[in-house]
Chains A and B, each alone.
Chain A
Amino acid sequence: MVDWLDIGVIAVLNGLAIGLLLFVVAVGLSLVFGMMDVLNLAHGALFLTGAYVAWSVAGERPTWTGWLVALAVAAVSGALAGGGLSLLTGPLARRSHLAQALLTLGVALVVAQLLSAAFGDDVRGVNPPPGLTGTVAVAGNAYPTYRLALIGLGAGLALATYLVIERTSIGALVRATVADREMVAAVGVDARLIRVGVFAVGSALATTAGVLGSPIYNARPGLDSTILILALVVVVIGGLGSVRGALVAALLIGQIESTGRALLSDLASFLLFGALAIVLALRPRGLFASTIGGRP
């Protein structure tokens, strides 16, 4: 008979790895939305760009330096893309969410097509850096060492982001802008600077996560929309603009994606969206909904 405990430990561990990765992706999306009411559907394409960067820079047999270069290149290209996106969505500030959603969806389609033109349509496998390719015995089952490293790295990134946002003065400025843009502008802070900055950092996090996630997900067309859907679910459940919400929601979705699929495999496909529908039905503004300056 299937040994539940055995599956449980591995699944929970795996859920942690996936959850932390999702947090790194989702936190940028959540802040961008919380601050500027911009629903950035191109966020998934940024993740995919990161994965392709990892494949092209690190390649099939990456070395440590190859990996670090890949991470750097991804972060820089993410920041640039973020800046570009914030300029693109600038004039739409007054328009409805629909206009922004359609615009960013257009950008996502274009980026995905350019990537598939550049890298072709078949799967580009990326291998973890040397030393992390093997497996480690955990509770009697083999578990890839790379995912353990990912948990460590993901936790580090999550903690760093959390501290920057919650503890530093820059973080306070970001949270203030999320709460009430007009007031921050009235105080004399150049809101445009903040907005480009957050867009750039959020996008850089997404591309970096793309590199980190590539050994698991591999770079392939269609990955962008899968990741986008997951990130959107995390952001909405966590409450828009709330970092704490994104962290909790990401871990929750991580568990649903791993433990949920393992235990209830035939319901697996309903779990994700079922959870979203239930959460939104109960708390229409997400779990940690920060009151966003009374905007509708």
Chain B
Amino acid sequence: MSVAMPGKDRSTPTVGPPVAVPYRPTHARLGWRAGVVAAAGVVALAAAPFFLAPYATTTLTRMLVFALLAASLDLLVGIAGLPSLGHAAYFGVGAYAAGWVAAHGTPAAPVPLLIAAAAGALMAAAAGWVAVRSSGVFFLMLTLALAEVIQQLAESWEPVTGGSNGMYGIPAVTAAGEALTNVAYLHWYVLLWFLVGLLVLWSLSASPFGATLRGIRDNEPRMRAIGFPPFRYKLAAFVAAGAVAGLAGGLLAAQQRLVTPADLGFTTSALALLAVVIGGSGTIWGPCLGAALVILVRDSLAPSLGGRGPLVLGLVFIVVVYALPRGIAGLRRSRRERQPLSKAGERDE
């Protein structure tokens, strides 16, 4: 269906016929440079156990688990614009599910993780169904309230979750029959599933589904006018983020072999949020850097300050909010956007 257009009068004289440049969505274009950086990162992470001391590798593994949680939160906060202050609940539920399956069902490799992701998704669906109706600060408060209820459940449902002592003595994950207790094997196991989780998140964010979420975040009335039902998309985003958080919880159970109500608590959610803000929301990979920084501060710096860890964290909170309005990733992106747009040319990555 094309229509002959009568003469166009527009102020900007166009040189020759206007070049109809084929359309390619801006955010999905991954320049080759970003691809190379990502590949290098994965190789470095995989090689880590060879040249890092055992404890450093364990710390790195813990960073990966937390990074996946932060990345899943970023799908909600950065892409869908839903500020959740209770995302650790689905992380914890996944961890408990994985731990329970490993102890009572089978610790064979993928089973506990898949159950964890399913548990996270299920809990997120139930909570999301209520939470997603509200927006802004009410959503923030509702997610906080739901997370506190879930945490209280973990604390008082003693027979299953082990109550306030937590679920301890989770059997090690077995891959092809052999228990992964060696630090390096565990690291690779976590790295593999971290990449799977990250890939899922990245593909969601770069796909039309992600574009829709961004649209709903920026201009919900317009999206409704086009025909996107916002409630269903927000709920889908909440469940997807809950599933990946559950997966991260499964990795926590595999790595630390202990799950306590504190893992579901407000502090964990706030730290994950800090990681997203430090890393730069909306980029999925940004919060992973943020998570590494947060774990570094919490686990290595804090103890050496003689118990004044929370003071350090408090100061980091304040500094980050002022100094890095758009996080580490933001630094890179704002440089790119300041480039003048060529008339009809491609914006280079």
Q: Could you tell me the distance between the alpha carbons of A103 and B273 in the complex, rounded to whole angstroms?
A: 12
Q: Out of B83, B152, B153, B155, which one reaches A97, CB within 8 Å? A: B83
Interface residue B138 (Cβ < 8 Å from any Cβ of A): yes
Chain A contact residues: helix, strand, loop or mixed: helix
Chain B residues with Cβ below 8 Å from A272 are 148
Chain B residues with Cβ below 8 Å from A98 are 77, 83, 140, 273, 277
Q: Do B311 and A95 have beta carbons less than 8 Å apart?
A: no
Q: Do B318 and A110 have beta carbons less than 8 Å apart?
A: yes
Given contacts A102-B321, A103-B321, contact A273 B149 (CB under 8 A): yes
Interface residue B125 (Cβ < 8 Å from any Cβ of A): no
Chain B residues with Cβ below 8 Å from A240 are 137
Choose, from A57-65, A144-152, A246-254, A275-283, the stretch at the interface: A275-283
Q: Do B277 and A106 have beta carbons less than 8 Å apart?
A: no
Interface centre among B146, B155, B314, B320 (most CB of A within 10 A): B314
Q: Do A285 and B138 have beta carbons less than 8 Å apart?
A: yes
A91 to chain B, nearest CB (A): 8
Q: Could you tell me the distance between the alpha carbons of A280 and B137 in the complex, rounded to whole angstroms?
A: 11
Q: Could you tell me the distance between the alpha carbons of A277 and B133 in the complex, rounded to whole angstroms?
A: 12
Q: Out of A91, A109, A269, which one reaches B317, CB within 8 Å? A: A109
Give per-residue flags for B32-74: 1 if the beta carbon is below 8 A from chain A beta carbons, else 0: 0000000000000000000000000000000000000000000
Q: Do A99 and B321 have beta carbons less than 8 Å apart?
A: yes
Q: Out of B85, B130, B140, B315, which one reaches A106, CB within 8 Å? A: B315
Q: Could you tell me the distance between the alpha carbons of A112 and B155 in the complex, rounded to whole angstroms?
A: 25
- CB nearest neighbor in B for A110: B314
A47 to chain B, nearest CB (A): 17
Chain B 288-335 interface residues, beta-carbon cutoff 8 Å to A: 308, 310-311, 313-318, 320-322, 325
Chain A residues with Cβ below 8 Å from B156 are 269
Interface centre among B77, B138, B321 (most CB of A within 10 A): B321
- CB nearest neighbor in A for B146: A277
B64 to chain A, nearest CB (A): 23
Interface residue A39 (Cβ < 8 Å from any Cβ of B): yes
Q: Do B314 and A109 have beta carbons less than 8 Å apart?
A: yes
Interface residue A108 (Cβ < 8 Å from any Cβ of B): yes
A43 to chain B, nearest CB (A): 14
Given contacts A33-B137, A98-B273, A99-B277, contact A107 B149 (CB under 8 A): no
Given contacts A97-B136, A98-B83, A99-B325, contact A273 B310 (CB under 8 A): no
Q: Do A284 and B317 have beta carbons less than 8 Å apart?
A: no
Give per-residue flags for B105-134: 1 if the beta carbon is below 8 A from chain A beta carbons, else 0: 000000000000000000000000010011
- CB nearest neighbor in B for A266: B156
Q: Do A270 and B314 have beta carbons less than 8 Å apart?
A: no
Q: Out of A101, A102, A106, A273, which one reaches B152, CB within 8 Å? A: A273
Interface residue B142 (Cβ < 8 Å from any Cβ of A): yes
B330 to chain A, nearest CB (A): 12
- CB nearest neighbor in A for B152: A269
- CB nearest neighbor in A for B127: A277
Chain A 16-62 interface residues, beta-carbon cutoff 8 Å to B: 33, 37, 39
Chain A residues with Cβ below 8 Å from B149 are 270, 273-274, 277
A46 to chain B, nearest CB (A): 15
Residues of A within 8 A of B (CB): 33, 37, 39, 91-92, 95-99, 101-103, 105-110, 112-114, 117, 225, 229, 232-233, 236, 240, 269-270, 272-274, 276-277, 280-281, 284-286, 296
23 examples of A-B residue contacts, CB within 8 angstroms: A37-B137, A39-B140, A98-B77, A99-B321, A101-B273, A102-B273, A106-B317, A106-B318, A109-B313, A110-B315, A113-B308, A229-B148, A232-B141, A233-B145, A236-B141, A273-B152, A276-B141, A280-B134, A280-B142, A281-B133, A281-B142, A285-B134, A296-B135
Q: Which 8 A-B residue pairings sit nearest by Cβ, starting from the closest?
A: A106-B317, A109-B314, A284-B134, A113-B311, A110-B314, A106-B318, A276-B145, A103-B321
Query: Can you name 19 extra interface pairs (CB under 8 A) apart from A97-B137, A106-B313, A236-B138?
Result: A98-B77, A102-B274, A105-B317, A107-B314, A107-B318, A109-B313, A109-B314, A113-B314, A117-B308, A229-B148, A233-B145, A269-B156, A270-B149, A270-B153, A273-B152, A280-B141, A281-B130, A284-B138, A286-B138
